[in-house]
Amino acid sequence: MQNSHILLADDDAALLTSLSDYFGRYGFDVDIAANLADMRRLSEEGHYDLLIAEPMMPGQHTAGLLREFAFERRIPVIIHSRASSDIDRILGLEMGAEDYLTKPCNARELLARANAALRARRRQADAGTMATAPRDNSWVAFQGWRFDLTTRQLFDPSGGTISLSEGEYQLLRVFVANARQVLNRHQLLDQVYGASSDHYDRAIDVQLCRLRRKLSAGGLKGQTIRTVRNEGYIFVHPVTAGNAAN
């Protein structure tokens, strides 16, 4: 199997060297970036399976690039930051990060989180062929919205594109495939991340919060994904499906 290719981005040169050597010993192909310009250049020159980044580099504004990795390139992002407040962690997750670790962090834990993120991404790719997606259909529609399961794009009634992270895409895919059925957290975890996933309930809560916020911001009124007390969640709208010929 080909080694995973990761990009480490941090303004701490000693930490970059240490982590690069550590990940290299475990079979990773590692590139390092000391600033935003390096991140941009390297991201344009090669493909990466994972980004581990410090978003608080002095004089740098990495939020836009982190969102690009997470939402447009669909590359898992782990934030490894000196910022430790709850707000920082929430903002990091809202930027699309799969995980957030506060410095100082044990390199072994960072490695474990990286491996978990990579396993989850592979499972999510495999899940695209699972029965949770409507068979023989390339798109579904609800309330004037169109969700393209081939290109993984979500369009609002005006035709505008709503950016989805990989986790948000997988969660919405599961909901529309099981529209108007109550799904509990364990079912969502299994179908979004895989039955043997290392993710916890909190991962679903984060993705669900983001997805609800994006649907609401796009103009979808009311509770699209309703919480059913002591049972789980339900996608309340009826869904129609079709293929590219429709």
* Same-domain pairing of 231 and 173: yes
Structural domains counted in the chain: 2
**Alpha-carbon distance 222 to 137, whole Å?**
27
Confirm whether 133 is domain-assigned.
no
Confirm whether 117 is domain-assigned.
yes
Confirm whether 16 is domain-assigned.
yes
* Same-domain pairing of 105 and 153: no
* Same-domain pairing of 188 and 231: yes
* Same-domain pairing of 143 and 117: no
Residue 185 Cα to chain centre, angstroms: 18
Confirm whether 151 is domain-assigned.
yes
Q: Are 213 and 172 in contact (CB under 8 A)?
A: no
How confident is the model at residue 202, as a pLDDT? 65
How confident is the model at residue 246, as a pLDDT? 46
Domain ranges, residue 11: 5-128
> What is residue 19's three-state secondary structure?
helix
* Same-domain pairing of 220 and 111: no
How confident is the model at residue 131, as a pLDDT? 38
pTM of the model: 0.54
How confident is the model at residue 126, as a pLDDT? 54
Helix axes 107-127, 166-177, angle to 10 degrees: 40
**Alpha-carbon distance 232 to 141, whole Å?**
23
How confident is the model at residue 16, as a pLDDT? 94
How confident is the model at residue 110, as a pLDDT? 93
* Same-domain pairing of 67 and 20: yes
Q: Are 193 and 120 in contact (CB under 8 A)?
A: yes
Which domain CATH number covers 28? 3.40.50.2300
* Same-domain pairing of 23 and 42: yes
Q: Are 105 and 84 in contact (CB under 8 A)?
A: no
How confident is the model at residue 125, as a pLDDT? 57
pLDDT in tens, the chain (246 residues): 468 899 999 999 999 999 999 999 999 999 999 988 888 888 877 788 899 999 888 766 677 777 777 766 778 889 999 888 888 888 887 777 888 899 988 999 999 989 888 887 776 555 443 334 444 458 889 999 999 888 888 998 888 888 888 888 889 999 998 888 998 887 887 777 664 444 555 667 788 888 998 998 888 877 899 998 888 899 999 998 866 544
